[in-house]
Amino acid sequence: MRLAKFLSFFVAALFLLAPSAIAKTATDTTARYPFYLAEKDDVKIYALGAMHLGKRDAKLTGAIIDALGRSSKLILEINDSDLVDSSDMIEKYLCPDSCLREQLSAQTYKKMAQDYPELSFFIGRFPAWLAATLLSSKDYMREGYDPKYGAEFLLQRARGKTPIIGLETSEEQFNAMASISLKAQVKTLEDYINMSATKRAEIINDLYKTYMLGDADALFEWYMTYDAKTQSSAEYEEFNKALIFDRNKRMTERLLTHIDSKKPIFVAIGALHLGGDKGVLELLRKKGYKITRL
């Protein structure tokens, strides 16, 4: 089996990485997605914050399905066809030899092999950023999350004939991760590996609980404050700039090229991209849109 084909299952791995530290647990158990309406003149944009992997009993709400049915197009981070095609493209990012063993400390590499024995036979050729994505995805699946129940996949099943548009290409997303300095890549990966499996599971499930409160700003605050000391480090600032803030600007500008004054449009992007003072919702506010939480 070709390595790239094996990886195709993981290409949908979320950018909602919580690479280190202790999460703040959500106490409100009301389940709702972060779902918003942005309005300006005759333009309506439904905006859904997505997690790219979801619980296997996940279902879209009636309000989301109704809004999708009224919309002229479904806009995702990347088009599903591009997601499938990207499995072969991954090969160009792999190291010819075992670069990961050289990048990580011997102790950290040994712990990674112990915690993820089913991945150890090939992960050595991964650059640190791709290894972080794969390991995080594996942990989500161990906790019962599945790409087939992520918000984007559920929307695609429900969309009927609504056309799908991608805001980015998978190559752009991969290049954003690859652009992070090696120091920042290794720092975030080592922090993640050196947590206990119990702590990684706790963070994953606390993130999901916070996500299902349906408040994009609260989710972003959770992400940025669960360990303020770590998040303020130069490595994590670089990580967040490349993977969240710079992409927020790009996705907002591209989103606005697809507005339709006759029918609403529906956009679903990673939930961390919506909230905060640099999030897509705030960028839309600055362009004159009224934002309403649905």
Quick one: how far is CA 156 from the chain centroid?
17
The number of folded domains in the chain is 1
Nearest to 186 by CA among 235, 229, 226: 235
Is 8 a residue whose pLDDT tops 80?
no
pLDDT-derived band of residue 261, with 50, 70 and 90 as boundaries?
confident
Tell me the percentage of the chain whose pLDDT exceeds 90: 54
Per-residue pLDDT tens digits for 214-238: 999 999 999 888 665 555 588 888 9
Residue range 181-204, pLDDT digits in tens: 999 999 989 999 999 999 999 989
Residue 291 pairs with which residues in a beta bridge?
Answer: 38
The rounded distance, in Å, linking the Cα atoms of 95 and 63 is 46
Q: Which residue has the tokens 């907002």?
A: 252
pLDDT band at 21 (very low <50, low <70, confident <90, very high): very low
Full domain range(s) for residue 153: 3-293
Contact between residue 88 and residue 63 where contact means Cβ atoms under 8 Å apart: no
| Confidence band of 34 (pLDDT split at 50, 70, 90) | very high
Which of 284 and 7 is assigned the larger pLDDT? 284
3-state helix, strand, coil in the chain (%, to 5): 55, 10, 35
Residue among 172, 148, 209 nearest 16 (CA): 209
- Tokens, residue 109: 């590499």
The predicted structure's pLDDT at residue 153: 87
| Mean per-residue pLDDT over the chain, rounded | 84
pLDDT band, residue 170 (cuts 50/70/90): confident
| Better-scored residue on pLDDT, 37 or 161 | 37
pLDDT of residue 179 exceeding 50, the answer is: yes
- Tell me the average pLDDT across 139-151: 89
**73-90 pLDDT per residue, tens:** 999 998 766 654 555 677
The dihedral built from the CA positions of residue 94, 99, 103 and 106, taken in this order, carries a sign that is positive
pLDDT at 293: 96
Going from the C-alpha of 226 to that of each of 20, 22, 31, 81, 94, the distances in angstroms are 9, 6, 21, 36, 32
Residue 218 has what pLDDT? 94
pLDDT at 28 over 70: no
Q: Given a cut of 50, is residue 22 above it in pLDDT?
A: no
| pLDDT attached to residue 68 | 96
Close Cβ partners of 129 (under 8 Å, ≥ 6 residues apart): 177, 178, 180, 185, 189
Instruction: Kindly tell me the sign of the dihedral angle through the C-alpha atoms of 278, 280, 284, 285.
Output: negative
- Cβ 22 vs Cβ 15: under 8 Å: no
pLDDT of residue 14: 37
Q: What is the pLDDT of residue 55?
A: 87
Angle ∠(184,134,277) on CA atoms, nearest 5: 55
Q: Is residue 97 pLDDT above 90, yes or no?
A: no
Beta bridge partners of 209: none
* 86-110 core/surface letters (b: 16 or more CB in 10 A; e: else): bbeebeebbeeeebbeebbeeebbe
What's the pLDDT at 116?
Answer: 93
Q: CA-based Rg of the chain, rounded to a whole angstrom?
A: 19
Q: What is the pTM of this model?
A: 0.86
